[in-house]
Amino acid sequence: MVTPPRCSFESAVEPVAVAGPRLGRLTTAHGVVETPTFMPVGTQACVKGLAPDQVRATGSRMILGNTYHLALRPGAERVRALGGLHAFMGWNHPILTDSGGFQIFSLADRARVTECEVEFRSHLDGRSIRFSPERAIAIQEDLGSDIAMVLDHVVGLPAPIEQVRDACERSIRWAERCLAARSRSDQGLFAIVQGGLDADLRVDCARRLAAMPFDGFAIGGLSVGESAEDMRRVLDVTCPVLPAHRPRYLMGVGTPEDLLDGIARGIDLFDCVLPTRNGRNGMAFTDRGPLKVRNAKHQDDPGPLDPDTPSAASGLSRAYLRHLFLAGEMLGPILLTCHNLAYYQRLMADARRAIAGGSFAEFHRAKREGWTRRGS
């Protein structure tokens, strides 16, 4: 029996770029993903409101699940007994699972961090849930994701430099423990670079993690209160330090412009709740800026939502979509969620073509100009 690889990354253009836009292929046990790409968020083993076939129809080929939430409900052991996360949710394509580190930030009032572990009070029933680096890996191995993330210590920004440094050092120590704890041969493991907005901390963290045998590297601790300019500065100093022949993942980011800014600096993978959350709330992404279907100006508009993005909403008028939202029909959020994911995937596909053709800078500039127009 041939053992499948954990995961591998190869450049589609040699030599592979150290910084700047890159084309790549990420190979996992459940398929190959062309990069740069965007991963829809499936926190609870589903992309909210969509069946797996609907997610696939948007062009998405890799999604993200959340270790903390799945450990609470339905439980990692139950998922393992039911054949693993892919079988459980009916998704036979790559899955990446976050480790629970982000919940140290997002559930800070329910988390207590020590050197050994983080203890959460469940947001469901208040019971104590302990996550050590070793436990985070064990849960992800039970889930059977294609790529697991190390447990890291995420702090909100701005924060005192002493707090950021302490969390960064702890994240490096926890990353080493995660490496030692892994046992699956078919699951990649990514480290997470921390360091807040401090350039020296980011570079030092990236260099120390890059010396370890991880399958990929993420940049975490962003999209937690900093400006877009601050985020770009962090990427400018961090990406060149990371190994060129390993995938780079910018966690939790973001807007279409954030994605292209990340690609311009050498990022390969993205995830964010923005396209699905905004879709559920009546906002569609387009090349001409955001479109809010609830606005009264659309009540008699027979025009399409976005003629440039084929999706489940194609062929339906803005007037009809507005009606669905005002009538409280669940179809409205479903259709806009499909559209937004299709828009993000089209943006990624167009970016890959622009990189291949040597015209990414012009592509980036044209998109930015379109997005800065007033939305509708």
Residues with active-site annotation: 98, 271
Give the burial class of 134: count Cβ atoms within 10 A of its Cβ; 0-12 exposed, 13-18 middle, 19 or more buried. Answer: middle
Type of residue found at 271: D
At which residue do the structure tokens 């008028």 appear? 317
Q: How far is C-alpha 168 from the geometric centre of its chain's CA atoms?
A: 21
The CA distances from residue 80 to 89, 141, 146, 313, in Å, are 12, 9, 14, 36
Q: Would you tell me how many other CB atoms lie within 10 Å of the CB of residue 225?
A: 12
Torsion of CA 13, 25, 101, 235, to 10 degrees: 20
Structure tokens at 370: 């379109």
DSSP E strands: which ranges in the chain?
A: 7-11, 24-28, 31-35, 37-40, 63-66, 95-98, 111-113, 118-121, 128-131, 147-149, 188-193, 216-219, 248-250, 269-272, 283-284, 291-292
Q: How far is C-alpha 208 from the geometric centre of its chain's CA atoms?
A: 23
Q: Kind and range of the H or E element at 101?
A: helix 101-106
Residue 260 and residue 367 in contact, taking contact as beta carbons nearer than 8 Å: yes
Q: Kind and range of the H or E element at 238?
A: helix 228-238
Give the burial class of 224: count Cβ atoms within 10 A of its Cβ; 0-12 exposed, 13-18 middle, 19 or more buried. Answer: middle
- Write the CB contacts of 149 (distance below 8 Å, at least 6 apart in sequence): 67, 96, 97, 98, 99, 101, 140, 189, 190, 192, 218
Residue 114, helix vs strand vs coil? coil
Closest to 187 measured CA to CA, from 63, 9, 6, 25: 6
